[in-house]
Amino acid sequence: MSRIGKKAVAVPSGVTVTISGQTIEVKGPKGQLSWTLPEEIVVKQEGAELLLTKSVENTRAQAMWGLSRTLVSNMVEGTTAGFEKTLELVGVGYRAAMKGDALSMQLGFSHDVDVPPPSGITFAVPKQTEIKISGIDKQVVGEIASKIRGLRPPEPYKGKGVRYAGEVVRRKEGKKK
C-alpha cells in the first residue's frame, strides 16, 4: 500500500497548475514543466492542493500512484526553488573551469573534457575543485551529475576522481611486499 500516494501535493502561491486530460503542467517563477500521467492515475485540484487517486485496483496502478505523486511534487518544487547537485574533484591537477556556458575539466587525460549544458541546466564553478549543477528538472540535474561523475569515477586506492559532495569512498589497502 502506497503511503506516498495518499499525501496531497501542496501548491504554493505563485505556482499555477493546469490539468488537461492526463497531462499536468506546472508554471512557477523559475519556469514550467509538464508531464503525462499514466492512465491508471487521476489528479484533482482542490484549492491549493493536488490529490492523486487510482482509477483501477491492480499492481501497476499501485506502483504508479506513489511515483506519480512524487514526480508531480518534484515539478512543483523545481519550478519554485529548483534543484542543485554539487560535485567535487579530488586528485592532483584535477580542476574545472567555465568555458563560455560549457564546463571544461582537467581530469588526468591528455585533453580537457568539455561538457555543454543541456537546455534548462546551468553550471557554476565556485572553486576549481567544485562544480554546481542546477536546474528545475530533478531528473535532468541528477542525470548530468551522474554523467560528469562517470567521466572519472572515484577509484578505491587513492580516492582520486569526481564524486558527489559528501560521498564517502571506501578505500582499499594497496598491495604489500
Provide the 10 A C-beta neighbour count for residue 116: 11
Domain-wise residue ranges, the chain: 9-80, 83-164
To the nearest 10°, report the CA torsion of 60, 63, 68, 69: 140
Strand partners, 95: 106
Q: What is the mean pLDDT of the chain?
A: 93
Instruction: Specify the fold of 9-80.
Output: Outer Surface Protein A; domain 3 (3.90.930)
> Which pLDDT score is estimated for 2?
61
pTM of the model: 0.88
The pLDDT tens digits of the residues spanning 19-61 come to: 998 999 999 999 999 999 999 999 999 989 999 999 999 999 9
Domain boundaries 83-164, corresponding CATH code = 3.90.930.12
User: What is the residue type of 116?
Assistant: P
Mean pLDDT throughout 149-164? Answer: 95
Equal CATH topology for 9-80 and 83-164? yes
Q: Confidence class of residue 130 from pLDDT cuts 50, 70 and 90?
A: very high
Q: Is residue 11's pLDDT more than 90?
A: yes
> Which pLDDT score is estimated for 5?
86
